[in-house]
Amino acid sequence: MIALTQEKREELIERYSQQIITFKYHLSQIGQEHFDGKAYAEILLKTEIALAALTAKSVLHAVNSDVEDKIYTALCNENEDGAYPLFTAPPVPEIKLPEKLNAGEIHYELTEKYGLDVSIDQLERGLAEEVYSIAVNTFERLNGLGE
């Protein structure tokens, strides 16, 4: 299964919605009995399945409970602690890219959170932004994004 950014998901939803309209129009013109009609019908079905996965909404929510060393699953409200969504089919996962940090925020993360000895001067010279850019580009490349 692939994962997508919200922007890529929205782009695909728009594109597939338009393609479905186009395929339905072509099918109405040539009919499903024609060879091309069969191909259009198959592409239409695949596109509708892809669109359904991209726009999947949860139908119920559940929560797991541990009772006497046994785990039970029960339906619940979506705002209950530990609730997770249930789908009729699995949705396409979404990738969330980290927001870009400025030199001061990066300095705080590296020194306070991770205990590294990095000066703000080093960060302000653009090293942090360069490393961040390389990391995000690599992440996008490995996940097939930005194509």
Residue 64 covered by a domain: yes
Residue 98 lies in a domain: no
Q: Are 83 and 63 in contact (CB under 8 A)?
A: yes
On whether residue 16 sits in a domain, the answer given is yes
Residue 118 tokens read as 């990095």
pLDDT per position in the chain (147 positions), as tens?
Answer: 577 788 888 999 999 999 999 888 888 887 767 667 778 788 888 899 888 888 888 888 888 887 777 787 888 888 888 888 888 776 666 766 666 666 677 777 767 766 767 677 766 666 666 666 666 666 666 666 554
> 65 lies in a domain?
yes
The end-to-end CA distance of the chain, in Å, is: 17
Q: Is residue 21 assigned to a domain? A: yes
Q: Are residues 83 and 70 in the same domain?
A: yes
Question: Strand (E) positions, the chain?
Answer: 60-67, 70-76, 84-86
The pLDDT assigned to 147 comes to 46
Task: Give residue 128's domain range.
Answer: 103-142
Q: Are 120 and 101 in contact (CB under 8 A)?
A: no
Considering the domain boundaries, does residue 95 fall inside one? no
Question: Do 14 and 50 belong together in one domain?
Answer: yes
pTM over 0.85: no
Cβ atoms within 10 Å, residue 91? 17
Q: Could you tell me if 31 and 11 lie in one domain?
A: yes
Predicted pLDDT of residue 18: 94
Q: What is the pLDDT of residue 72?
A: 78
Q: Is residue 29 part of a domain?
A: yes
Q: What pLDDT is attached to residue 124?
A: 66
For the chain, how many structural domains are there in total?
Answer: 3
* pLDDT confidence of residue 128: 60
Query: Do 61 and 78 belong together in one domain?
Result: yes
Same domain, 13 and 50: yes
Is position 81 within any domain? yes
Are 4 and 144 a contacting pair, CB within 8 Å?
no
